[in-house]
A and B are shown apart, each in its own frame.
Chain A
Amino acid sequence: MNKKILALALSSAALSLALATPAFAQDVLITNATVHTAQDGRVIENGRVLIRDGRIREVGTSVSAPRGVATFDAAGRHLTPGLFGGVAPAGLVEVSAEDSTTESRLDLSGAPHQHPVMRPEFNPIRAYNPHSTPIAVNRVEGVTFGMVGASGGGSLIAGQGQLARFDGSYDPAISGSDTLFMQLGARSKNLSGESRAGQYMLLEQAFDEARADRKSLDGEVRLMTKRGRGVLAKFLQGGRVLVSVSRAADILQVIKLAKANNFKPIILGGSDAWMVADEIAAAKVPVILNPLANLPGNFDHLGARLDHAKLLQDAGVTIAFSLGDAHNSRKLRQAAGNAVANGLEWEDALAAITSTPAEIFGQGDAVGSIEKGQIADLVLWSGDPLEITSVAEALWMGGQSMPMQSRQTKLRDRYLEQDPEMPRQYIKP
């Protein structure tokens, strides 16, 4: 066997890490890094980050290693917070087209005696599988957390979602990040009698129902179960509601609806958001957008444009990025780079895939930036972290050095070798 090629396939950084420190060391001082804190655009040249017990303890240029704590020389490379993978069903899907492996969408239309049409109590994180291969495939590219939630299509209120850390644990949700998912607009018209006015009508009916006492519901058609009413009522006390919606007129409707019903909307998609950017900024509504979306998939998206992120940022709107794909969430970094090419400031683009999404979902103190007290989820890059020719070379989650291996790197290493003596199925990297 040609060991040379296999050895080449391993990144040199992973090797040096393995040699420099015991595997899975919890405590480490990273030195000589260009630290992108993702907070207020702060960059620390020749920076040091001390990790102890899974948390970031100190960040600066003159941090020293406490006794017994190993150091890791970053050799001047860029260190960022672990990246956001977007709003995507990570851990809820193995193969998208294989129903037996997908868990994010609730559709009870085929089930008997399931009259309630809205199920806010649906919480797909309970189906999360940390062994799902997209988790590691994207983690080795620096994706350490994401908004894992319900996919639309089955109901206007699709269910809930939570921020999850992709550290391989069975309990990935970051507590306090509960978010309700709604999908409105052209794609949901079949759920509202074929009019988008029907969407607001049904949602208002649901909100009334959630707030009603039991007696007043007697004789009324009910959209939800008792448990569902309870869940929705909780979100109507200032909770976060992620609304997938794109048309400018719909965005304004959602802002009005949110004010009247006491929830905090977050716009997902929002192709037309730039047209009503001032209203969105005034209402302090964040927008999670796809920086690569510039074509009208349908008439809701006529406003889609590549400089959207810059326009919203300039208008004072809080922005984060998502592509919505669990298998290729690693591509979000490329999307952020494209936002820079189209006018966004570099540090704002990095924030849009690190600290800002964490803040949007109420977890800015836990993940998303390199600040004292944060969970130590960090990525070291071969070059400019937003550049497509850069790759992740080392990764820590909760302070633990993570193996830079996935099913894909193993397939690569199996087939990289030329003319093996035995069938490749004997090569087990």
Chain B
Amino acid sequence: MKQFYTVVLDRLASFSGRLDSEPYETGWADELIAFVRVHEKASSTALRAWLQISPDGIEWIDEGTSAALSEGSSLLFMKARDFGGWVRLCVECDDECKVTTYLALKG
């Protein structure tokens, strides 16, 4: 059977501005779904998220996948493949918000 693992990158994390997750090693996985669950946020504030990849977990570049939180929703997701050995999840929100972020990895 394939391996599967959901890692919680940031749990109940409050921030405003930008939240970059810690580097997470993904070399074993073929595919992922990244989730951002929004616990608290001003209703009018936009929130978006995107993925970055890295050769070494130190230098980062946008992978190209991004998503914005839909109005009235508390959850967004992104799918990706061919991301190599490291992924991190970036979230941006202009006002104070509280999120839990995940990578659901399979390979």
Do the two shown chains form a genuine complex with each other? no
B interface residues (Cβ-Cβ under 8 A, vs A): none
A interface residues (Cβ-Cβ under 8 A, vs B): none
